[in-house]
Structure 1
Amino acid sequence: MIDLREFSSSFVPLTAAALALLLAIFIILFRGPKSPYRAKKYHPIGSSHLSQVLNFYRVHDFMTDLARKHKTYRLSTFSRSEIFTTDPAVVEYILKTNFPNYGKGLYQYNILTDLLGDGIFAVDAEKWKHQRKVSSYEFSTKILRDFSSAVFKTTAVKLARIISEASTSNQSLDMQDLFMKATLDSVFKVILGIDLDGLSRTYEEGARFSDAFDKANAITSFRYADFFWKIKRFLNIGSEAELRKNIKVVDEFVYKLIKSKIELLNNPHADTQPGKKEDLLSRFLELKESDPKYLRDIVLNFVIAGKDTTAITLSWFFYLLCKHPDIQEKIAKEIMQATQVRSDFSIEELAAKVDEQTLDQMHYLHAALSETLRLYPAVPVDPKVCFSDDTLPDGFSVKKGDMIAYVPYAMGRMKDIWGNDAEEFRPERWLNENGHFQPKSSFIFTSFQGGPRICLGKEFAYRQMKIFSMILLGSYKFKLNDESKPVKSRTALTLHIDGGLHLRVFSRSNRDTTVDA
């Protein structure tokens, strides 16, 4: 992964100087009477790119501070505006009401396409519609739901066994790292039907892929901040040379798996093999989707969607449970009541009790996970591009080519949306008078987007996180390894915990004698 401090030491001063020059040019260009910004009403300028660069290490909290002054504000350059909003009416407008006018755009496509190709998260229009239609159908099938649930349980049990060793030896664990490996194992099994085995790293080729994929993802993310990435790509130097090398490793691995899967499905003697057509790739191949490049793009888009997001959410969730041990115990009690396991249960016995019926009873767990996503959304900022001049519901104008982003991280902290206790971790806000989970509008709770682009894997993500949580929290109690050490996010496209999440683990069967020691 890229060292953020090393990156910032060279990138920030150069960028600050460049932005200061661009800002001066912008002021000169638009002070005259011909300025287009005098003809229409535009959002107030909340800050400058220079200020964002100087606050790079805390950019999400910096944007939250700005949002408390203006629900919607803009940063301007000499070429376009970048608009940031926490206004639910504006969010609904760009995600639903006038959805066709806001999308990824060519700017984001150019950034993402080397890694994600023409996958669903990089494209608009007909390419997006086709993949959305096919994927939506497959995600709704009972076959994929049952297969994924079995995969999640198997992986969670494997993770619990690793945690058991640490519990016995009283060692601390980096739970974020373990969640990252476990969710990648799960998503690979569901999508490709193979065991990547990242948790134990016995599959050497799979480990190389995993490392290369993480590095390629990180470098692609930093393209949003690196003004010189196209030059570096053209010259094949620096981070872009590293990106090309890692994408080659990723492509070789994925294309090899696709070829093997096609050969397997075309083998008439392989019909008796169990699970042959349960994974997502096999389902797409059954629909006669046989172009390797198309399948490669689908695979990597779903891997990137299903890997980091659930792992990040689980990491922040376990952090919050360590900060609120009363809530951790309340969830553990709900797990015991739902599963009705004996006091001397094994991990496998608990896992066997985790099914659709018990998952549906976990209202408080579902609420606590949603509360985690409200405060720590896996994707803290989600940008779109305006395709033609428009006027937003708040009466302000937006120009063709402008970027407009809604900010889930800041929205979760707005008192006018969530009340005076907006910054508190309180799962009860998601429960009705009967203690049942009560969903919120997707235009105030934006972790899964809303409108036509609402996340296809939303229910899969909740199912995976609930299964992992039930097996782990039903078996162990978790505490921060160092209560005095601050836990904060790392500035990137996804909200990783900076430096990992280091926890100590105690078996619930002997917690009364061990935890207090």
Structure 2
Amino acid sequence: MHNKLVCKIFQPSLSFSFHKYKYSHLSISKAIKSHSLFHFIKLTATKLTHNHLINNMFLSLFLFFILGFLTHSLKLHLKFPPIYGPSSYPILGCLISFYKNRHRLLDWYTQLLSDSPTQTILVQRFGAPRTIITANPDNVEYMLKTNFINYPKGKPFTDILGDFLGRGIFNVDGELWNAQRKLASHEFSTNSLREFVVKTLQEVVENRLIPLLIQAAKSGKVLDLQEVLRRFAFDTICKVSLGTDPHCLDDLSHVPVLVDSFDTASRACAMRGMAPVYAIWKSKRALNLGSEKKLKENVKRVHCCIDEIIEKKKEKITNENGGDLLSRLLIAGHEDEVVRDMVISFLMAGRDTTSSALTWLFWLTTNHPNIKNEMIDEITSINNGDKALEFDELKEMKYLAACLNESMRLYPPVAWDSKHAAKDDILPDGTRVQKGNRVTYFQYGMGRMEEIWGKDRLEFKPDRWIDENGGLKSVSPYKYPVFQAGPRVCLGKEMAFTQMKYVLASVLRRFEIKPVNAEKPVFLPLLTAHMVGGFNVRIYERVE
């Protein structure tokens, strides 16, 4: 039966339709016409055998490469210790875990770092560069000082902030950074700038901030202290950096164009950095959609405002006047665009960082009355309020400095900072770094590491910063990198402490602050940290 069926199928009278598939130099149709059916079948079988051999050869090569890859991976595994990290999957990496924890990223990372034997973790997720996050002080020192040259900001970082900060000092590397650093370092170290800062603080605090708080106390209205402090900081930094006055504290119901545009641009840049897949914001930028469209529009407004201020300043400036930074930069003869980018960087650093630190410390004082009373005792023992505060008096206030340090340990104005490896490297804890990897040191998590701060790490204890002689303890900046460390250490650290101490001393000795809500506020890490929903309080004048 089987043989009959075969014969019937291959009867010459049966019609076939063949496409011309080439086997060697003969097509199937040509083979049928030139040779017998038997020869055709034999030829086909030979070619199938030949193809089978080729397939086997490719399979062998594939297995050889897989084996080589696995061998190489095993060697790396034996040579380098495995890196702890969240659950990860092929292609997606830890994207699922990242998405699940997106509303508590800081505490999620902190827990992972605490569980890691080296306080270092690896985060790999689809659409983002391979990221190493560390809370290990040895790694931080290595990145920020020992091998500083291998850990620049890098292109991925400058892409995120480049549209806003341009070529400002916080967003550049190499020679351009070095030149701006030298210039800024010189200006920040002058006594004339220090005197100008204190004079500005006296004016803004006494003529605007204190009257505003007195009015709030009389009216009994709820005040968003975070917003007040941000406006105060913007008025102050604009006067110091630009020599101009936006009058943000004059009317809390009105938001000046520069302030509104600055806030919107900052938030949009922060969203870029927090995007689970970087391609999303890059696509939106290319198509000019959503938050990227807003960013573009508001950056343009910020640039227009600053450019207008620069032009007006150039019309009035002489070699003899101008205590503000803008005047100093213009007198030095720098290009307008470079000056603008530097000034925008100063505005960002000087506004949100100090207001964030002050907001969290004021909240902490409402929960720790004994600590608040110690702060007031120190303030009144140095200056009882019968005259304006002076720079030397502020330097004497060690306990205020300890309280600020402790507050920023728990609630740092900048939760993390990232670099990008220029070359392959190995961190002191043995973590292997590949060229192009994002390497992040995590200030928020470092402030909560038992290995660094002990079992009471979650408690607010300013005394941990005071030595046995009542002075301020010296703590390694690599354990406490709130102001960065190494060659890129914050130039405005002294200015920031001067401003924060001035506000604390002026407010605490005159007013009681009572939060409207008893719940613990939520820490939101944008470009600089914010308190979600603001810090709503009622103000009461102190009775001696």
The 3-state SS of whatever aligns with 2:329 is helix
TM-score (norm 1): 0.86
Cα 1:36–1:285 shift into 2, 3 Å: farther
Q: Pick the aligned partner of 1:76 from 124, 140, 154.
A: 124
Structure number with the bigger relative contact order (C-alpha 8 A, sep ≥ 6) is 1
Q: Pick the aligned partner of 1:167 from 207, 211, 217.
A: 217
Cα 1:404–1:75 shift into 2, 3 Å: same
Q: Pick the aligned partner of 2:85 from 31, 46, 50.
A: 46
The 3-state SS of whatever aligns with 2:123 is strand
Task: Please give the alpha-carbon distance, in whole angstroms, between the structure 2 residues aligned to 1:395 and 1:302.
Answer: 37
- Alpha-carbon contact 1:86-1:411 (below 8 Å) kept: yes
The Cα of 1:486 is off from its aligned counterpart by 2.6
1:435 matched residue in structure 2: 470
2:322 matched residue in structure 1: 277
Cα shift readout 1:312-353 (whole Å, capped 9, x = no counterpart): 000000010011011111111111111034xxxxxxx45x1x
1:500 matched residue in structure 2: 534
Alignment partner of 1:144 is 2:193 = yes
- Alpha-carbon contact 1:197-1:203 (below 8 Å) kept: no
Cα shift readout 1:196-216 (whole Å, capped 9, x = no counterpart): 111114998x80110011000
Task: Please give the alpha-carbon distance, in whole angstroms, between the structure 2 residues aligned to 1:112 and 1:492.
Answer: 13
- Alpha-carbon contact 2:391-2:498 (below 8 Å) kept: no
2:104 matched residue in structure 1: 58
Bigger shift: residues 223-232 or 391-400: 223-232
Q: Pick the aligned partner of 1:247 from 260, 283, 299.
A: 299
Task: Please give the alpha-carbon distance, in whole angstroms, between the structure 1 residues aligned to 2:153 and 2:409.
Answer: 24
The Cα of 1:80 is off from its aligned counterpart by 4.4
- Alpha-carbon contact 2:269-2:527 (below 8 Å) kept: no
2:70 matched residue in structure 1: 33
TM-score (norm 2): 0.82
Cα shift readout 1:115-156 (whole Å, capped 9, x = no counterpart): 000011111000100000000000000010010111122222
2:513 matched residue in structure 1: 478
Identity %: 37
1:469 matched residue in structure 2: 504
Task: Please give the alpha-carbon distance, in whole angstroms, between the structure 1 residues aligned to 2:511 and 2:72.
Answer: 63
The 3-state SS of whatever aligns with 1:509 is coil
Alignment partner of 1:217 is 2:217 = no
The Cα of 1:362 is off from its aligned counterpart by 0.7
Task: Please give the alpha-carbon distance, in whole angstroms, between the structure 1 residues aligned to 2:498 and 2:543.
Answer: 26
- Alpha-carbon contact 1:43-1:72 (below 8 Å) kept: no
The Cα of 1:421 is off from its aligned counterpart by 0.9
Alignment partner of 1:191 is 2:254 = no
Cα shift readout 1:180-204 (whole Å, capped 9, x = no counterpart): 1110111000001111111114998
Task: Please give the alpha-carbon distance, in whole angstroms, between the structure 1 residues aligned to 2:418 and 2:97.
Answer: 19
The 3-state SS of whatever aligns with 1:322 is helix
Cα 1:433–1:281 shift into 2, 3 Å: same
2:430 matched residue in structure 1: 395
2:376 matched residue in structure 1: 332
Bigger shift: residues 127-136 or 59-68: 59-68
Task: Please give the alpha-carbon distance, in whole angstroms, between the structure 2 residues aligned to 1:474 and 1:75.
Answer: 47
1:155 matched residue in structure 2: 204
Task: Please give the alpha-carbon distance, in whole angstroms, between the structure 1 residues aligned to 2:222 and 2:180.
Answer: 43
Bigger shift: residues 472-481 or 39-48: 39-48
The Cα of 1:356 is off from its aligned counterpart by 2.0
AA of the residue aligned to 1:170 = G
Structure 1 portions without partners, runs of 5+ = 1-28, 342-348, 511-517
Matching of residues 263-412 of structure 1 within 5 Å: 263-265=315-317, 276-289=321-334, 291-341=335-385, 349-350=386-387, 352=388, 354-412=389-447
The Cα of 1:45 is off from its aligned counterpart by 3.7
AA of the residue aligned to 1:337 = S
Cα shift readout 1:351-370 (whole Å, capped 9, x = no counterpart): x1x11232122111110001
Cα 1:284–1:34 shift into 2, 3 Å: farther
1:181 matched residue in structure 2: 231
The Cα of 1:173 is off from its aligned counterpart by 1.3
Cα 1:134–1:491 shift into 2, 3 Å: closer
Task: Please give the alpha-carbon distance, in whole angstroms, between the structure 2 residues aligned to 1:493 and 1:36.
Answer: 37
Cα 1:53–1:77 shift into 2, 3 Å: closer
Structure 2 portions without partners, runs of 5+ = 1-65, 87-93
The 3-state SS of whatever aligns with 1:84 is strand
The Cα of 1:171 is off from its aligned counterpart by 2.2
AA of the residue aligned to 2:144 = L
Task: Please give the alpha-carbon distance, in whole angstroms, between the structure 2 residues aligned to 1:296 and 1:201.
Answer: 27
The Cα of 1:52 is off from its aligned counterpart by 2.2
AA of the residue aligned to 2:202 = K
Task: Please give the alpha-carbon distance, in whole angstroms, between the structure 2 residues aligned to 1:80 and 1:190.
Answer: 38
2:11 matched residue in structure 1: none
AA of the residue aligned to 1:172 = V
The Cα of 1:505 is off from its aligned counterpart by 1.6
The Cα of 1:51 is off from its aligned counterpart by 1.4
Cα 1:305–1:43 shift into 2, 3 Å: farther
- Alpha-carbon contact 1:332-1:473 (below 8 Å) kept: yes
The 3-state SS of whatever aligns with 2:482 is coil
The 3-state SS of whatever aligns with 2:458 is coil
- Alpha-carbon contact 2:411-2:523 (below 8 Å) kept: no
Task: Please give the alpha-carbon distance, in whole angstroms, between the structure 2 residues aligned to 1:34 and 1:53.
Answer: 33
Task: Please give the alpha-carbon distance, in whole angstroms, between the structure 1 residues aligned to 2:184 and 2:81.
Answer: 38
The Cα of 1:54 is off from its aligned counterpart by 1.5
Q: CA RMSD in A?
A: 2.0
Bigger shift: residues 45-54 or 431-440: 45-54
AA of the residue aligned to 1:249 = R
The Cα of 1:36 is off from its aligned counterpart by 5.1
- Alpha-carbon contact 1:381-1:493 (below 8 Å) kept: no
